[in-house]
Amino acid sequence: MSDSKKRQLESSKTPEVWERWLSELSSSEESAMDEENETEVDEDTDINVNAAEESDHETESELEGSSDDEILSDDSGESHPQNFYLGNDNITKRKKTRPNLQVRIRSHNIIKLLPGTNGNSRNVETEIECLNLFVNDSVIRIIIVSTKLYIQKVRVNFQEDRMNQDARETDDTEIRAFIGILFLIGALRSSRKNLHKIWDNSQGNGVESCYLAMSEKRFRFLLRCLRFDDINTRQQRRAIDKLAAIRELFEVFLVNFQNNCIGSEFLTVDEQLLAFRGRCAFKQYIPSKPAKFGIKTFAMVDAKTS
């Protein structure tokens, strides 16, 4: 209390003076307390505003997961935590926040059919039935018609006495036996073996299924004459299609696979180099591959069912 107030209190003894002095004292103390409270509120507000600005793009999980080595500094010197993880290559970024799993799945991403076999393929029981799903009558018909056209073209190069033996036309049964021999040679890993050794049974080392199905000369003749398109119109079709020699057969194979197989949700597009050193306009050379020379193909592979 100031000296002037004390002197005024001692000089005035009336109740009116006392009441007026107490009211002035209480009003001055309340105003001082209000100023202090306003100062404290302003300071707290500044702190909250700064905190909100710093954590504008972060959640509670990000603030908890941020460590000292995840702090970045910009040009102004201010530091703020990252909202992503950096990969080992220092380029790949992965967000720390989890994706929203309550989003409606798009219709084209919903698998409506169970992966695996489809249609007639569910009823097959033997290996030959499974093979006939893909190498069906349409495939055999294309091979027979195309091969006959080529045999008629090269038949003039053979002698008359050998025409009925080596250069005769083929049929459905022989083409199926020829395809079976090719599968058997591949299964025995004898694709690079001399054909004469496969058909030679003088010492009991030949493959019985091969030399009982057809002779070695007939097999070589079919291997040379096997065609999958009309040889007479190939040049015109090749001008606009590099796969003119196998286009029709290739389209039939694709339809057969689509009708009998259903892929799972784990699909990927992969490439494969098929070893080939013959004459081909789109043959490629890839030194990192085991075969180095071949035809590069692309395929959609099912990683779940192989």
Assessment of whether the complete model's pTM goes beyond 0.75: no
Establish if 106 belongs to a structural domain. no
Minimum mean pLDDT range among 24-38, 107-121, 256-270: 24-38
Residues 147 and 232 in one domain: yes
Measured distance CA(71)–CA(55) in Å, rounded = 13
Give percent of the chain with pLDDT exceeding 70: 72
Residues 244 and 277 in one domain: no
For the segment 121-132, the average pLDDT, to the nearest whole number, is 85
**Tokens describing residue 42:** 């302003």
Range(s) of the domain holding residue 292: 262-306
- Predicted confidence at residue 249, as pLDDT, reads 92
- Average predicted confidence (pLDDT) for the chain: 76
Measured distance CA(226)–CA(34) in Å, rounded = 103
Establish if 305 belongs to a structural domain. yes
Q: What is the pLDDT of residues 212-252, one digit of tens each?
A: 888 888 899 999 999 999 988 988 998 898 889 989 999 99
Residues 237 and 176 in one domain: yes
pLDDT band at 202 (very low <50, low <70, confident <90, very high): confident
Establish if 75 belongs to a structural domain. no
- Predicted confidence at residue 228, as pLDDT, reads 93
Number of domain units in the chain = 3
Indicate the SS3 state at residue 84: strand
- Predicted confidence at residue 51, as pLDDT, reads 40
Establish if 292 belongs to a structural domain. yes
Residues 132 and 251 in one domain: yes
pLDDT band at 63 (very low <50, low <70, confident <90, very high): very low
Residues 131 and 202 in one domain: yes
pLDDT band at 206 (very low <50, low <70, confident <90, very high): confident
**Tokens describing residue 226:** 């096997």
Residues 154 and 272 in one domain: no
Establish if 279 belongs to a structural domain. yes
> For residues 25 and 288, which has the higher predicted lDDT (pLDDT)?
288
Establish if 82 belongs to a structural domain. no
Residues 141 and 246 in one domain: yes
- Predicted confidence at residue 67, as pLDDT, reads 43
- Predicted confidence at residue 45, as pLDDT, reads 45
- Predicted confidence at residue 46, as pLDDT, reads 46
CB atoms near residue 79 (< 10 Å): 10
Establish if 99 belongs to a structural domain. no
Measured distance CA(181)–CA(207) in Å, rounded = 10
**Residue 105: is its pLDDT beyond 60?**
yes
Measured distance CA(130)–CA(123) in Å, rounded = 10
Residues 181 and 210 in one domain: yes
Residues 212 and 266 in one domain: no
- Predicted confidence at residue 68, as pLDDT, reads 41
**Residue 83: is its pLDDT beyond 60?**
yes
> For residues 36 and 215, which has the higher predicted lDDT (pLDDT)?
215
Minimum mean pLDDT range among 20-29, 54-63, 111-120, 169-178: 54-63
Residues 233 and 288 in one domain: no
**Residue 140: is its pLDDT beyond 90?**
yes
DSSP letters for 16-73: HHHHHHHHHHHHHHHHHHHHHHHHHHHHHHHHHHHHHHHTTT--HHHHHH--GGGEEE
Establish if 98 belongs to a structural domain. no
DSSP label at residue 303:
T
Residues 139 and 220 in one domain: yes
